[in-house]
């Protein structure tokens, strides 16, 4: 059965374009042009994923996000025309799963949708290892390799890279990583996280200016890349 997408967006041009693109991608699409309609459709249609615009004519998209999160964990991708980083970060911290900034390509949006649906729909047992390009992580022995050579990471670096690969394809905010690794908010504006991240990259990336593994989402956080 096709997966059901709820699109909450007031711009008719974007609605038309996305409906066509998503239907071509074999998704079932339902759309709402206001925040209130979005919440009502969410309750009645039980979508598998929600694409949510922040700038809506009635209530703010952040309010829609908040109300949906009160009910459940359905993946939510923010469609944001606002490239102000603080709003993306705020949405991610308040439970959105990812965001795309307008204008975006269909390919980019489809990739984000696939990642979100994959994470949500199946409970996967923790695998023994992770392999991507030349990187291998052995979760049992807690060892990391590039090709055949072992890379020595500190315990914190190991925790960070493990967190990133377990969320491959998904953006993780600075605050999220900080909380998962240290368990308390940062008092240094994520400076120590940046230092750890730079160190991990020096160890695993062959060219830190053109990363193959960890992408910086400027002002937001980090994303472990996927194919």
Residues lying near Ca ion in the complex (CB under 5 A) are found at 10, 53, 55
**Shortest reach from residue 12's CB to Ca ion, in Å:** 10
**Shortest reach from residue 176's CB to Ca ion, in Å:** 26
CB closer to Ca ion, 10 vs 157:
10
CB closer to Ca ion, 32 vs 115:
32
Contact 87, 65 (CB under 8 A): no
Task: State the Cα–Cα distance between residues 217 and 69, nearest whole angstrom.
Answer: 24
**Burial classification of residue 44, based on how many CB atoms lie within 10 Å of its CB (0-12 exposed, 13-18 middle, 19 or more buried):** exposed
**Shortest reach from residue 221's CB to Ca ion, in Å:** 24
8-state DSSP, 209: T
CA angle, corner 53, sides to 66 and 105, nearest 5? 135
Closest CA to 121 of 97, 88, 100: 97
Task: State the Cα–Cα distance between residues 201 and 214, nearest whole angstrom.
Answer: 8
CB closer to Ca ion, 53 vs 98:
53
**Shortest reach from residue 10's CB to Ca ion, in Å:** 5
**CA distances, 82 to each of 16, 100, 119, 182, 207 (Å):** 21, 10, 26, 30, 31
CB closer to Ca ion, 57 vs 107:
57
Chain residue whose CB lies nearest Ca ion: 55
CB closer to Ca ion, 13 vs 124:
13
**Shortest reach from residue 19's CB to Ca ion, in Å:** 16
């Amino acid at each position: 059965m096709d997966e059901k997408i709820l699109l909450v967006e007031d711009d008719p041009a974007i609605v038309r374009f996305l409906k066509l693109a998503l239907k071509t991608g074999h998704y079932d699409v339902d759309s709402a042009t206001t925040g209130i309609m979005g919440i009502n459709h969410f309750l009645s249609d039980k979508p598998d994923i929600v694409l949510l615009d922040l700038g809506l004519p009635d209530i703010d998209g952040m309010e829609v996000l908040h109300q949906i999160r009160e009910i459940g964990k359905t993946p939510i991708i923010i469609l944001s025309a606002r490239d102000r980083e603080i709003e993306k970060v705020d949405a991610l911290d308040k439970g959105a799963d990812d965001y795309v900034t307008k204008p975006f390509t269909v390919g980019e949006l489809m990739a984000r949708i696939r990642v979100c649906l994959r994470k949500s729909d199946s409970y996967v047992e923790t695998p023994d290892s992770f392999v991507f390009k030349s990187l291998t992580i052995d979760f049992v022995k807690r060892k990391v390799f590039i090709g055949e050579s072992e890379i020595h990471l500190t315990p914190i670096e190991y925790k960070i890279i493990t967190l990133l690969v377990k969320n491959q394809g998904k953006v993780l905010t600075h605050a999220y990583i900080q909380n998962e690794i240290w368990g308390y908010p940062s008092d240094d504006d994520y400076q120590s996280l940046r230092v750890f991240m730079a160190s991990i990259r020096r160890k695993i990336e062959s060219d830190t200016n053109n990363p193959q593994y960890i992408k910086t989402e400027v002002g937001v956080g980090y994303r472990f890349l996927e194919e």
